[in-house]
Amino acid sequence: MIGDEAYNLGAIKVAKVNFTIIAFCVIIVAFLVVTQVYVSAMEIQPRGVNVQRTVYITDWGVTVVNDTITLTDTHEAGSTRFRLGVPAEFASFLRYAQAKDESGSPLPTTRILDSTSGVLWVEFKLEKEVGETHRFNVATVYSDLVSYQMGRFSFNFTETPLLDEKAELCNVTVVLPRDSTVNIPENYSFAKTSFNGLPALNAVFKPLQPFTWKPLNFTFQSITVQLFKVHWAERKVTFKPLGGISVEDSYSVTNLSTSTSQIEILLPKNSSNVMAYDKLGPIWDEPQKGDRVTVSPRYGTIKANESFTFTLKYDLSNSHLSRRGTLGQYELNLTLITPQPFIIYHLTTEITFPKSLSVNEVSKPPDTLSDKLYEVRYLYDVGDVTPLDDLSLQVGFKYDGFWAAVRPIGIVAMVEAAFCALYASLKTVKREVVEEGVTVPADQIRRVTELIDEKIGLRNTLEDLDEKLAKKAISKNDYRRRRRGVETRLAAINRLLKPLKSSLASLNPRYGEILNLMDKAEAEVEAVYTSIRNLRVQYRIGKIEKTAYLSIHEELRSRLEKAKSKLESLNVSLKEEAG
């Protein structure tokens, strides 16, 4: 019995020891598991992401998007990445993407196309520290998000950025041109607001889930938006033999919205002797100067879906040339094309240097270098030029003396060319003297000018009727009756003028030039007058605020008076031809 009790007591002690060991092991294992889970949780804990997006719809229908990204990262220090996605529906419209940190330094950028979903991921790499809040800006430019149909512009994009991680907050603001009237349905995710005095839409998404996006569609009215597609542009820069630099800028555009009478083009600062040309020759009578010009087609307006190709020729200011330290060393500062507010789908730039200029440094290597007998040509070929692209170009060169580079045969050719030019000018003078003896068709000129005077008076009558209707000085029935009578007479005058103008233009090129300028002035009057009527209608039905209405109306009235004054002045000039 005693032996059994001792045995049982020993067994109990052993069991207690074993239990203690097992319990200790369980605690250790549990601790390790909990620690591992905690560490794993720390490793997969998402970083904080905050997005402020501003979408700008410009007066030229270009969409510029600025995303300000704020990251709060708990991962280890080193390199990290951030991805911004463009859905397949809009991937082909992305023309520009660039990210910069808070100091303005560009971040490495890579575009990755997901072949399965069609999403275009734009990836940015940045350096960071543990727990650091990192902020950077992403600028993107899109084409073809704005379209025009039935008197309205449509905008089609995404409500939010497409991300591959969750964002705690995403604030989106869409900013429109200053005279825009936005049409959105009830219970829309965006609300109307203003941004720096401009009409805008705003929505806040909290949170923004990854890999999700919704379409953003709305329409708006505007009379300041011009929707042009610039298929190509071409710049030719040439050094003149006797000093100076000449430039030729050519553009091919298609109007994708309502009819317009002009297109504004920006030029290098202090450009001079600016002349516009189309396939038939000069469009203007006299050269202009400055850093911007307005070009109108020879025959009036550019209608919807019509194309217009033109060339601007001008002299570059010497301010674009600067001397370097060494004697004879210079630097030319220019751009591949003057930055424009629209997108150019294809750009070619050709810079021709005579052999007297020895190029020793170029900030952008040319795509093609053509070395000929007396000159060297630098050719650049660029696609998708946006308002945000850096087009600057610096060329360092040394002047060795022009004539030292010209072969004797070249001198002979130049002398022969000079004699040919002199002979041609003498023939021109002789021809002009002969033309002075041609009988002036005074009666025909007087008939044309009388009809144009009547047209001007009838146009003023229409404007007066519109003013009276706006002030409720006449009834709508009386307005319609009187307007119908004026428009009937205007149509009859146009039918009478057409053969008279054709006949007069065939008698003397000068008459044709004056009549072409008058047609352009009339087209401008008609276009601006129509814009004023549309503006008045929008204001009357409450689609535009009074402040914007008054500002735009004043601007349009100024343009109208200027066009009318030019038309009247040209008509006086034509009258003087009759003596």
Instruction: Encode pLDDT of 433-442 as tens digits.
Output: 334 444 668 8
Residue 155 has pLDDT above 70, yes or no: yes
In which band, very low, low, confident or very high, does the pLDDT at 408 lie, cut at 50, 70 and 90? very low
**pLDDT value, residue 28:** 54
Is the pLDDT confidence value at 300 over 70? yes
For 63, phi then psi, to 5°, come to -110, 120
Q: Which of 194, 189, 191 is nearest to 175 (CA)?
A: 194
Q: What is the pLDDT of residue 403?
A: 36
Residue 76 reports pLDDT greater than 80: no
- Kindly state the helix (H) or strand (E) to which residue 523 belongs, with its residue range: helix 509-540
The CA distance from 203 to 205, in Å, is 7
User: Which pLDDT score is estimated for 26?
Assistant: 47
Strand, coil or helix: what is 276?
strand
CB 347, CB 282: distance < 8 Å: no
pLDDT reading at 191 higher than 90: yes
Residue 228, pLDDT above cutoff 60:
yes
DSSP for 402-464, please give it.
TGGG--HHHHHHHHHHHHHHHHHHHHHHHHHHHHTTSPP-HHHHHHHHHHHHHHHHHHHHHHH
At residue 431, the pLDDT reads: 38
- Output the pLDDT for position 21: 53
The predicted model scores a pTM of 0.65
Cα-based torsion angle of the residue sequence 321, 322, 324, 329 in order, rounded to the nearest 10 degrees: 30
Q: What is the pLDDT of residue 513?
A: 80
* Gyration radius of the chain over CA positions: 36
Spell out the alpha helix ranges (H) of 45-114. Answer: 88-91
Question: DSSP character for 108?
Answer: P
Over residues 114-141, the pLDDT tens digits come to 989 999 999 998 876 656 788 899 999 9
Query: What is the phi-psi region of residue 187: left when phi exceeds 0, alpha when psi lies from -120 to 50, beta otherwise?
Result: left
How many Å apart are CA 303 and CA 526, to the nearest integer? Answer: 13
> CA nearest 347: which of 383, 376, 323, 378?
383
CA distance 479 to 484: 8
Give the angle 266-268-274 at the CA atoms, nearest 5°: 75
Query: For position 5, what pLDDT does the model report?
Result: 52
> What's the CA gap between 378 and 352, in Å, rounded?
6
Least confident among 20-29, 302-311, 365-374? 20-29
> Average per-residue pLDDT in the chain?
82
Q: Please give the Cα distance from 421 to 414 (Å, whole number).
A: 10
Element (H, E) at 210: none
Mean pLDDT of the 25-34 span: 48
Q: Which stretch of 235-249, 314-328, 351-365 has the lowest confidence by average pLDDT? A: 314-328
pLDDT for position 323: 81
